[in-house]
Amino acid sequence: MNAFPTRTTTRSLSLAVAALVATATLAGCSTDTDPVADDPAPTGGTSAPPASSSPTPEPSESATTEPSAPAETVVAPVYFVGDTPMGPRLYREFRAVGADNPLAEAAALMAAGDALDPDYGTLFTGGFASVTYDEPGARFVVELADDSLTAAPSGLSKADARVAVQALVYTLQGVQQDRAPVVVTLDGSPTTLLGVDTSAGVKNAPQLDVLSLVNVTSPEEGATVSGSFTANGVASSFEATVPWEVRQGDTVVLEGFATAEGFMDQLYPWETVVDVSGLAPGDYTFVAMTDDPSGGEGPGPFVDTKTITVG
């Protein structure tokens, strides 16, 4: 996958967040009517110190803190855009955001493409003036600073614009734990976002239409592992088979497969233990993918990769 050009990165923040996510119990995302697909807790190693809080289990993406944890940060699911065989789709990272305004901070990360994984990015060209949850109206309200985001920029197709808008929808819904629609406003009046009409409220599209069909939750990008580690995430793969590899450069040094809890109708959790005790210390890439029953005749497998260091 190629990195998107508008992505920005702060490496020190990335390492701290990776440590926080490594200790969290995380959950997946579902449509309004689909059963929930809970992500297993990531257990990949990391060299960074612990962050200030971790989430408690919830029916879907958790953005709450334990009662005894300092209320400085919470863990939020943030959806970025990445390349797939079927065009741009959404990949999720769990990130630490300020507890005082997690909606706005998660939306800012998403819009900026500030992902830990360099394969993820954004299709937005700017951010938002404010992001709020209107509880009486059961909706999210995103106020634009100006009209620069109301129309799609040159070269952005309608299909890709819809994917970009869904990144905002999935992120806000995951943070708030509410499948409420998103309305974008300019000067207080409903408007378009990248050419997509939001006046009636934009709902989350079905997972299989907008999400990557495989997503690695653990190991996190840049994790340090030794002995063995638990890899997990979500996928919708043929017969629930999720092949994985450990590569050093272009050479596959380990391979196997995980079995997800289901397939076809949505993304389901998968988990496997990867034994790296026989590998020399160094940098490697963990790769999870969907099974390709077409034998290469179709568009090819969906892939998600994470750079790891074997200590």
Residue with the two structure tokens 């955001």? 97
Give Cα separations from 121 to 67, 80, 148, 231 (angstroms): 33, 6, 19, 23
H-run or E-run covering 223: strand 223-225
Homologous superfamily assigned to 214-310: Immunoglobulins (2.60.40.10)
| Region for residue 7 given its phi and psi (left: phi exceeds 0; alpha: psi -120 to 50; beta: otherwise) | beta
In terms of DSSP bridges, do strands 130-134 and 196-197 run parallel, antiparallel, or are they unpaired? unpaired
Give the pLDDT of residue 57.
Answer: 32
Strand-by-strand arrangement of the 251-259 sheet = 223-225, 303-310, 282-289, 241-248, 251-259
Q: Give the pLDDT score at 71.
A: 62
Residue 47 structure tokens: 């060299």
CA distance 36 to 217: 16
Q: 282: phi > 0 → left, psi -120 to 50 → alpha, else beta; which?
A: left
Note the pLDDT of residue 301: 96
- For residues 85, 87, 88, 92, the Cα torsion angle rounded to the nearest 10 degrees is -30
Would you give per-residue pLDDT tens digits along the chain (311 residues)? 444 444 433 333 433 444 444 333 333 343 333 323 344 434 444 433 333 333 333 334 443 333 344 469 999 999 999 999 999 999 999 999 999 999 999 999 999 999 999 999 999 999 999 999 999 999 999 999 999 999 999 999 999 999 999 999 999 999 999 999 999 999 999 999 999 999 999 999 999 999 999 999 999 999 999 999 999 999 999 999 999 999 999 999 999 999 999 999 999 999 999 999 999 999 999 999 999 887 777 789 999 999 999 99
> Residue written as tokens 């634009």?
144
Q: Which amino acid is at 56?
A: T
Could you tell me how many helices (H) and strands (E) the chain has, helices first?
4, 16
DSSP 3-state assignment of 299? coil
Cβ neighbours for 270, distance < 8 A, ≥ 6 positions apart: 232, 233, 234, 235, 240, 242, 258, 259, 260, 261, 288
Identify the pLDDT of residue 200.
98
Rounded Cα distance between 75 and 69, Å, is 12
CA separation, residue 307 to residues 191, 219, 234, 246 (Å) = 40, 9, 18, 10
Under 8 Å between Cβ of 195 and 151: yes
What is the rounded distance in angstroms from the CA atom of residue 193 to the CA atom of residue 91?
20
- In whole angstroms, what is the distance from residue 263 CA to residue 196 CA? 30
Alpha-carbon distance of 120 to 109, in angstroms, equals 12
For the chain, the structural domain boundaries read 11-210, 214-310
Residue 47: its pLDDT value, please? 34
